[in-house]
Copies of this chain bind each other. A is one copy, B any other.
Amino acid sequence: MVFAGQGDPRRSMTLLWRTPDSVATARTAPGPRPGLSVDVILDAAIAIADEHGMAGLSMRAVGERLGRTAMALYTYVPNKAELLDLMYDRIHAELATDHPTDGGWRAGLTAWAEDLWGFYLRHPWVLQVSQARPVLGPHEYAMLETVAGIMHGTGLPANARRRIISALFQFIRGTAQTVAEARQAASATGLSDEEWWYARSALLTEVAPDFAERFPMVSSMETEGAFQLDDETRPYLEQEAWETFRSGLTVLLDGIEAARRATPTDQR
């Protein structure tokens, strides 16, 4: 887990909210012309993170991709934590901000959640940026604006809306993270979920022959077919997480419905 907001607050906020104008202003300063720019560095860093994950993102790697040394980056970006903040906010520009509202809040939230889920799976490194001390960049706020707009349609009071938005986030991030880690584990170990599980479960019966008696509820779930998945062609954990996402979302939406019913209309 990586931290945010370590550097000079003013500098980092200026970088986050900078407009293209402030970049394009003709330079009259002395010294050699800058060969790089914050944007170029961000593109390179994001490309590396997408390809090799957070673990592959090092200052040396970013520099190398741009034909520079690691230290050259420090002219443009105060440090790695700041670079991550900027990457984090910029990548959120990818999210849709115009979910159709005519289908009602339920359809809106579903579309938003699915968009976010896909986004996290395309850029799993985003899940590793800490949520404490949020980045507070324009694109992160744009995403919050989107979901706040949809939630407005529920008619729930403002603080209930805030809490539900947070709960949705936590849930979506968690399930997406499981998929991301499963993929990473598969490619890192060279073992698919199935191969891994096959080897482990064989060892489990060997090392805990009394499993069924020790854990009757878990065993009964197993015999009742709780671990048989709808789509056997997809990697096990991935499919499991997807089903968790789908039905967990349904459960949450049903819960919101219940909260709406419990709220007097004049408060909505």
Contact = CB atoms under 8 A, between A and B. Distances in A.
This protein's copies in its complex:
2
B159 A251 contact: no
Given A130-B185, A132-B185, A217-B149, A207 B170 contact: no
A48 interface: no
Contact of A17 (B130, B157, B185, B208): B208
A250 to B, nearest CB: 7
A207 B13 contact: yes
A6 B196 CA distance: 11
22 contacts: A5-B196, A5-B200, A13-B206, A131-B177, A132-B182, A141-B211, A141-B214, A144-B215, A144-B218, A145-B215, A159-B225, A162-B221, A164-B247, A164-B251, A167-B244, A169-B174, A171-B171, A174-B174, A250-B259, A251-B255, A251-B259, A258-B258
A248 B253 CA distance: 11
A215 B144 CA distance: 9
A148 B247 contact: no
Contact of A138 (B131, B200, B208, B244): B208
A160 B230 CA distance: 12
A142 B215 contact: yes
Given A204-B13, A250-B255, A166 B133 contact: no
A-B complex: 8 closest residue pairs judged by Cβ atoms: A170-B174, A167-B248, A251-B255, A158-B224, A255-B255, A158-B226, A132-B181, A254-B258
A243 B163 CA distance: 7
Contact of A171 (B160, B174, B185): B174
Nearest to A241: B166
